């Protein structure tokens, strides 16, 4: 059973269960088992609770059929197939596409050959503000992306994107690419991935493109580390780590740090203007008030307030959250750590609390 056949049969498990054959049941079971046998980026993003829930539904379905020795076609058939339907969470194309977008996932792949392996590319795929982006970069080889753009996109779609539930045409994927270190283009293809139309990227789009790659290289370098320790005096390493985290933002940044100075805005000044930035602090050091006003006037899409409700420091970047052992301005002046918080519920609680405090402070400022 392939992905399309699975997508077609899953709704029938509920709406047309009486006509599902035992052979089709077995094919669905085998498809689900295959998905869970090995690494899958969507399944890996699910919480332990969600995975255990799916396992429970799968076990209930299988136990009712096999261990209960029920006769196929009896009144238990609806129970068997409805539980199998629930066990399919994260496996249909629509499910996978939604999870990929909602959880801010991305995929990166290098050494993708084209033109009979006369050229090679690497790519980054993600969704930002409900728009899917495919960024492609020429790696090596004498063939060019422009000459073989239809083949390059078709290979990436067939080998990677379809598995995530995406279609370049149906889901209106924006395709940007860069080759020779300076040639930036957007290409749009028609159904069948034919008749390409190009346009040059604007300066802001080029910067945004480069920031996305910077973040990806950082992710590869740190090999998905969740915790960083910086010895006393490693301020530059700490600065680069925090910068890479912030530059990886695609939609929003929220910083909670009681003690900030104007150096924070040197980093934030490089963040794409499409990213919403919010800062909660308590004390402003040096010329920070001037830096804030000038930054806000020039950039927009920026909110800040002074509150005294936090002890710890946090950086929220899209769906990620980091706990800092010291203020950003003093990071690694003494030995300290930076740790990712991976519990989604905890992230939501902290973030919601911070947003509420920001709204309260801004409302109070308006009333005053």
pLDDT of the residue at 220: 47
Joined together, the tokens standing for residue 174 give 């924006």
Query: Where would I find the beta strands (DSSP E) of the chain?
Result: 106-114, 119-128, 131-141, 174-179, 183-190, 194-200, 227-230, 252-256, 259-260, 276-281, 283-284, 302-306, 313-317, 320-324, 336-341
DSSP per residue over 108-160, as a string? EEEEEEETTTTEEEEEEEEEETTEEEEEEEEEEESS-TGGGHHHHHHHHIIII
Q: Sorting pLDDT into bands at 50, 70 and 90, what band is 106? A: confident
Radius of gyration, alpha carbons of the chain = 25
- The DSSP code for 90 is T
Joined together, the tokens standing for residue 258 give 């009681």
Our CA angle for 245, 240, 344, nearest 5°, is 20
Residue 88, sorted as left (phi over 0), alpha (psi -120 to 50) or beta, turns out to be alpha
Q: What is the mean pLDDT of residues 264-271?
A: 87
Does pLDDT of 225 surpass 70?
no
Dist. CA 183–CA 181, nearest whole Å: 6
pLDDT of the residue at 160: 94
Dist. CA 275–CA 215, nearest whole Å: 15
pLDDT of the residue at 272: 80
Phi, psi of 88 (to 5 degrees): -85, 5
pLDDT of the residue at 256: 96
Tell me: the pLDDT tens digits for 108-118? 888 899 998 89
Does pLDDT of 6 surpass 70?
yes
Does pLDDT of 326 surpass 70?
yes
Residues 6+ positions from 292 with CB-CB distance below 8 Å: 265, 284, 304
Joined together, the tokens standing for residue 157 give 């779609």
Nearest to 336 by CA among 345, 327, 344: 327
Identify the CATH homologous superfamily for domain 225-367.
Endonuclease Chain A (3.30.870.10)
Q: Sorting pLDDT into bands at 50, 70 and 90, what band is 247? A: confident
pLDDT of the residue at 41: 87
Residue with tokens 């495919």: 134
Nearest to 210 by CA among 142, 270, 146, 152: 270
Q: What is the mean pLDDT of the chain?
A: 88
Q: Sorting pLDDT into bands at 50, 70 and 90, what band is 73? A: low
Joined together, the tokens standing for residue 47 give 């919480």
Tell me: the pLDDT tens digits for 19-36? 999 899 999 999 999 888
pLDDT of the residue at 223: 45
Torsion of CA 159, 165, 171, 177, to 10 degrees: -30
Residues 6+ positions from 52 with CB-CB distance below 8 Å: none
pLDDT of the residue at 77: 87
Does pLDDT of 45 surpass 90?
no
Q: Sorting pLDDT into bands at 50, 70 and 90, what band is 217? A: low
pTM of the model: 0.61
Q: How would you class 315 by CB atoms within 10 Å of its CB: exposed for 0-12, middle for 13-18, buried for 19 or more?
A: buried
Share of the chain above pLDDT 90, in %: 53
* Residue ranges covered by each domain of the chain: 3-92, 104-207, 225-367
Q: What is the mean pLDDT of residues 345-359?
A: 92
């Amino acid at each position: 059973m392939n992905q399309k056949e699975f997508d077609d049969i899953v709704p029938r498990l509920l709406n047309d269960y009486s006509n599902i054959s035992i052979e089709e049941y077995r094919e669905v079971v085998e498809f689900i088992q295959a998905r869970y046998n090995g690494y899958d980026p969507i399944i890996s993003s699910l919480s332990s609770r969600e995975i255990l829930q799916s396992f429970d539904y799968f076990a209930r379905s299988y136990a009712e059929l096999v261990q209960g020795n029920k006769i196929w076609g009896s009144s238990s058939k609806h129970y068997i197939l409805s539980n199998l339907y629930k066990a399919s969470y994260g496996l249909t194309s629509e499910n996978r596409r939604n999870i990929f977008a909602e959880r801010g996932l991305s995929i990166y792949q290098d050494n993708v050959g084209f033109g009979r392996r006369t050229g090679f590319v690497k790519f980054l795929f993600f969704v930002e503000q409900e728009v899917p982006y495919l960024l492609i970069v020429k790696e090596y080889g004498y063939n060019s992306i422009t000459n073989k753009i239809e083949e390059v996109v078709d290979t990436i779609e067939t080998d990677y994107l379809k598995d995530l539930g995406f279609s370049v045409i149906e889901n209106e994927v924006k395709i940007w690419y860069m080759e020779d270190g300076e040639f930036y283009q957007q290409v749009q293809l028609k159904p069948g991935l034919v008749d390409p139309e190009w346009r040059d990227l604007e300066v802001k789009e080029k910067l945004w493109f480069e920031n996305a790659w910077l973040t990806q290289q950082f992710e590869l370098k740190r090999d998905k580390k969740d915790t960083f320790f910086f010895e006393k005096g490693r301020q530059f390493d700490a600065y680069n780590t925090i910068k890479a985290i912030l530059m990886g933002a695609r939609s929003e940044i929220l910083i909670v740090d009681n003690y900030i100075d104007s150096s924070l805005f040197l980093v934030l000044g490089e963040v794409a203007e499409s990213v919403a930035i919010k800062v909660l602090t308590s004390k402003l050091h040096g010329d920070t008030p001037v830096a804030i006003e000038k930054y806000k006037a020039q950039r927009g899409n920026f909110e800040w307030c002074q509150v005294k409700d936090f002890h710890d420091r946090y950086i929220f970047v899209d769906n990620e959250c980091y706990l800092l052992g010291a203020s950003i301005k003093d990071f690694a002046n003494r030995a300290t750590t930076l740790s990712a918080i991976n519990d989604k519920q905890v992230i939501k609680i902290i973030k919601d609390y911070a947003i509420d405090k920001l709204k309260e402070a801004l409302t109070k400022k308006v009333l005053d």
